[in-house]
Amino acid sequence: MFYDTESNAHGMAHDPFKAIVAPRPIGWIGTKGRDGSRNLSPYSFFNAVGDRPKMVMFSSSGRKHTLRNAEETGVFTASFVSRGLMQPMNASSAAVAYGADEFDLAGLAAAPARLIDAPYVAQAVAALECRVTKVITLPDVDGNETDSHAVFGQVVGIHIAEDVIRDGRFDLALADPIMRLGYMDYAGIGPIFELERPSVKAG
């Protein structure tokens, strides 16, 4: 089958786009407002987008509280979502009033970041401390502004729980992430395997 996204006539009960671009890591974004209120929400339009320096991005579909806070304070954290934190992660996605503390709502402890003024999930096995470098309201092909707002951040600090470090590596099997698929679906990771990069012969 084929469908163009202008008509979006896929003929299915739900748009399959997000099921195709999957799995997506979940950035569990922690922020503070200018008023000092704490916020925590999951974002699966999230990924690493550079490593020299380390950069991540999350994208807000509409102007949500996390975007507002990141713009107000210029900082955010991204906590790692392990399988055991799936329920509180989901609870923190509730559409609550601005200023409502999703750490409290989800029964989570908030830890203060070291280098920035933002909270992260104390129970998370890893968390990134980020400074906002750019916020882009994404333009469409005609150059018109959409209501998707991408927030780029430079990772300035990284927390890792000692118990997920094995043989000198961040052990993803121990960290046990859950990832976002399409629809209401999630997945864990399967067996991990190595694949060497191709080497180009000289001459």
Ligand X SMILES: Cc1cc2nc3c(=O)[nH]c(=O)nc-3n(C[C@H](O)[C@H](O)[C@H](O)COP(=O)(O)O)c2cc1C
Tell me which residue has tokens 């470090």.
165
Q: How far is CA 162 from the centre of its chain?
A: 22
Q: Give the integer Cα–Cα distance in Å for 152 and 133.
A: 6
With contact defined as beta carbons under 8 Å apart, do 53 and 154 qualify?
yes
Scanning 53-61, 70-78, 135-143, 189-197 for contacts with ligand X by CB under 6 A, the matching segment is 53-61
Please identify which residue in 20, 95, 97, 195 interacts with ligand X, judged by CB under 6 A. 95
Q: What three-state secondary structure class fits 90?
A: helix
Question: Total binding residues for ligand X by CB under 6 A?
Answer: 17
Task: Give me 5's structure tokens.
Answer: 């996204």
98-117 residues in contact with ligand X (CB under 6 A) are: none
Write a three-state SS string for 3-24. CCCCCCCCCCCCCCHHHHCCCE
Nearer to ligand X, 148 or 171 (CB): 148
Site string for ligand X, 55-74 (x = CB under 6 A): ----xxx--xxx--------
Interaction residues for ligand X, span 75-94 (CB under 6 A): 90, 93
Q: Give residues in contact with ligand X (CB under 6 A).
A: 26, 39, 41-45, 59-61, 64-66, 90, 93, 95, 180
